[in-house]
Amino acid sequence: MDSHDEQNEDIRSNRISFTPAQWGWLALILALCGIAAASVFYTVREHQQTRQLAANSQVLSTTLGELQSQLQAVSQKLNALTVPQHTPVSVNAAVTPQRAVSTKRMHKAAAHRLVAHRPVEDPRWNQVRSQLSEHEKQLASTREEVEKTRTDLQGKLSSTRDELSGKLSSTRDELNGSIARTHGELVMLQKRGERNYYEFHLDKTKGFQRVGPVSVSLRKVNFKRKSYNLAMIVDDAELNKKSVNLYEPVWITLSDRPQPLELVVNRITKNQVDGYVSEPKYRKSELTASTAAAEKAQEAGTPR
């Protein structure tokens, strides 16, 4: 029965209090997951676009080859049509004046027929040249788009990495800046006026000591590993924290506080610990009352 109660208390403790180290690791893991997801997304997208553009280039190259073959065939036909057909004449044959005149007339007639029947330039030739030029333009445009897309993806990926790195650095600085490791650092935090601070000195005992809005009891100290076990009474409920490290904050949520309480041990000896508890400057009820009073004062000062 006691072990079951202790398990329930541990579960309630884990639900209510969280350490900033856990928050920091969680933020770091989420940031790394975001970087990995963004990298995978942009890489897959770039590969898909590259494969698609390569396929388009292959299709254009095949079409270009076919057009060149058609162009060559049309050129051969045109050359065959434009070559003049000469009538062979026997060298040994005797050429008489009448035959010479007749031969000249025949040549002139043949020349006139050749000019008259010279084929007009095939319009398909212009169509083929136009299609060839259009395909070359499309191929050049596709290559430019591939280079532009690759450059944009690399720029976006670099920007995302820089942004996530900056957020991680900022979160790490905030976590480190809110922990007082010495009494002097605690005094500096108190001068900010943002929270109330209560220092404590605890001996190993089963009794509880009141520290600010909570009661705490030191149950175990591991001086070699610089850790300790702590029992707390929060809102009339007893909670237990085990194996808490030196400088590791313990966050405690109270019903009437706008922000969690922070418990930090900054000194561990054989059977004693020193540290502090910090809480928000004002309670929720005080903030609500102040807001209501300000609204009433504003309504009273407004002329009707």
Which pTM value belongs to this model? Answer: 0.41
Among 54-68, 152-166, 195-209, the minimum mean pLDDT is found in: 152-166
> Is 170 or 269 the better-scoring residue by pLDDT?
269
Task: Collapse the DSSP code of 241 into the 3-class scheme (helix H, G, I; strand E, B; otherwise coil) and give the result.
Answer: strand
Residue type, 188: M
- Euclidean distance between CA atoms 95 and 103, whole angstroms: 10
Pure H helices in the chain: 2-16, 20-82, 97-116, 123-177, 183-192, 284-301
> Which tokens sit at 290?
């102040």
- Residues composing the chain: 304
CATH class label, 1-86+121-177: mainly alpha
Phi/psi region, residue 226 (left: phi>0; alpha: psi -120 to 50; beta: rest), is left
In terms of pLDDT, which residue wins out, 44 or 220?
Answer: 220
pLDDT tens digits along 2-54: 555 555 555 455 454 556 666 777 777 887 888 888 777 878 877 788 888 88
pLDDT(304) > 60: no
Distance in angstroms between the alpha carbons of the first and the last residue of the chain: 67
User: By CB neighbour count within 10 A (0-12 exposed, 13-18 middle, 19+ buried), where does 35 fall?
Assistant: middle
Residue 175: pLDDT band (50, 70, 90) is: very low
Cβ contacts of 241 within 8 Å, gap of 6 or more: 13, 17, 229, 230, 231, 232, 250
The CATH-assigned architecture of domain 182-287 is Sandwich (2.60)
Question: What are the extents of the domains in the chain?
Answer: 1-86+121-177, 182-287
| Residue 185 to residue 190: CA distance in whole angstroms | 9
Which one-letter DSSP state was computed for residue 118?
A: P
Residue 17 near residue 235, CB atoms below 8 Å: no
More confident residue, 46 or 244: 244
Q: What is the mean pLDDT of residues 222-234?
A: 95
